[in-house]
């Protein structure tokens, strides 16, 4: 029989769900898995119909990180570079997309899988979920996951995860800011869709501008950040939907977005 696709993409009501679909391999981010995920993220991304992307997974493990079998041959430096470079491309792509990306986590997310969660704009997790960067235990320090982790968590929390490999529970991840919400497993789909549908009520063009500006200013010093965002607020007012939103508010009606 033909092999199951490594990722499955479905879309309805403005929400695209991308499912990591290799539970037998713990949804490892092999080179083919990363290629498939990139394709699904980029597919028709400028469509007015696409408003939110949700990344979910089949099986008890959300994502176990890189496929260690791909990294076992110490002489294949070219292949190893290709894996890590594509992974970095996918992680940065998530923040460059014009729509919000939500991680819907139900299970264990380790190493580059934890990096994937940290790279998403929003993360909703079930109570049974756990997050870890255990590479140090097998002699491969999670240096690339540390990029996303160090930008999502307080430094000392991130370093404890990286130095020990010990997992964070879902509630610890929430307390430290790695995830946005923690809910019972049977409420995970409902809560993720609630957030997605709320996002779908807003203008795509306004959200795209806002997301791009958020990531641009967050790495700047305070004065530079305000210079960037002051200009963007003015630019926002030149958008058709920027004016439509203000007019609708003044006229006490619901805005009609052009996106």
| Residue 2: predicted pLDDT | 57
- CATH 1.10.12.10 in the chain is located at 202-251
Residue with tokens 């190493």, as numbered in its chain: 111
pLDDT of residue 43: 97
pLDDT at 71: 87
pLDDT at 198: 98
For residue 73, the model assigns a pLDDT of 73
- Report the pLDDT value the prediction gives residue 206, as an integer from 0 to 100: 97
Q: How is domain 7-200 classified at the CATH fold level? A: 2-enoyl-CoA Hydratase; Chain A, domain 1 (3.90.226)
End-to-end CA distance of the chain: 43
Provide block-wise average pLDDT over 10 residues at a time, the chain (259 residues): 84 97 96 97 96 98 94 81 96 98 98 98 98 96 97 97 98 98 98 98 97 96 98 96 96 95
Q: What is the pTM of this model?
A: 0.95
3-state percent breakdown (helix, strand, coil) of the chain, nearest 5:
55, 15, 30
* Domain span(s) for CATH 3.90.226.10 in the chain: 7-200
Nearest Cα residue to 167 out of 122, 119, 110, 113: 110
Cβ burial 84-95 (10 Å sphere, 16+ → b, else e)? bebbbebbebbb
Between CA 213 and CA 207 the distance in angstroms is 10
CATH fit for domain 202-251, picks 1.10.12.10, 1.10.730.10, 3.30.70.270, 3.40.50.2000? 1.10.12.10
In the sheet that 15-20 helps form, which strands lie side by side, from edge to edge? Answer: 7-12, 15-20, 52-57, 101-105, 122-126, 181-183
Rounded CA-CA distance 133/130 in Å is 11
Contact between 145 and 133 (Cβ < 8 Å): yes
Specify the pLDDT at position 75: 63
Q: What pLDDT sits at residue 77?
A: 87
For residue range 118-173, list pLDDT tens digits in order. 999 999 999 999 999 999 999 999 999 999 999 999 999 999 999 999 999 999 99
Given a contact cutoff of 8 angstroms between Cβ atoms, the answer to whether 17 and 34 are in contact is no
Other Cβ atoms closer than 10 A to 169: 15
Q: Give me the pLDDT at residue 1, please.
A: 54
């Amino acid at each position: 029989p033909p092999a199951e696709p490594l990722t499955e993409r479905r879309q309805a009501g403005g929400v695209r769900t991308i499912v990591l679909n290799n539970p037998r391999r713990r949804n490892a981010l092999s080179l083919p898995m990363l290629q498939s995920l990139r394709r699904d993220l980029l597919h028709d991304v400028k469509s007015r119909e696409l408003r939110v992307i949700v990344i979910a997974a089949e099986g008890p493990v959300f994502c176990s990180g890189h496929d260690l079998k791909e990294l076992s041959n110490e002489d294949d430096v070219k292949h190893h570079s290709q894996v890590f470079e594509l992974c970095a491309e996918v992680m940065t792509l998530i923040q460059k997309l014009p729509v919000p990306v939500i991680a819907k986590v139900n299970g264990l997310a380790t190493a580059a899988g934890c990096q994937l969660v940290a790279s998403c704009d929003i993360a909703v997790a079930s109570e049974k979920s756990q997050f870890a960067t255990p590479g140090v235990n097998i002699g491969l320090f999670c240096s690339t996951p540390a990029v996303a982790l160090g930008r999502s968590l307080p430094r000392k929390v991130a370093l404890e995860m990286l130095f020990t490999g010990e997992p964070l529970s879902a509630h610890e991840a929430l307390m430290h800011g790695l995830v946005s919400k923690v809910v019972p497993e049977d409420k995970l789909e409902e809560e993720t869709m609630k957030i997605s549908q709320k996002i779908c009520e807003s203008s795509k063009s306004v959200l795209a501008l806002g997301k791009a500006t958020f990531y641009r200013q967050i790495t700047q010093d305070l004065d530079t950040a305000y210079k960037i965002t002051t200009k963007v607020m003015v630019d926002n007012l030149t958008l058709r939907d920027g004016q439509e939103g203000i007019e609708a508010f003044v006229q006490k009606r619901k805005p009609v977005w052009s996106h």
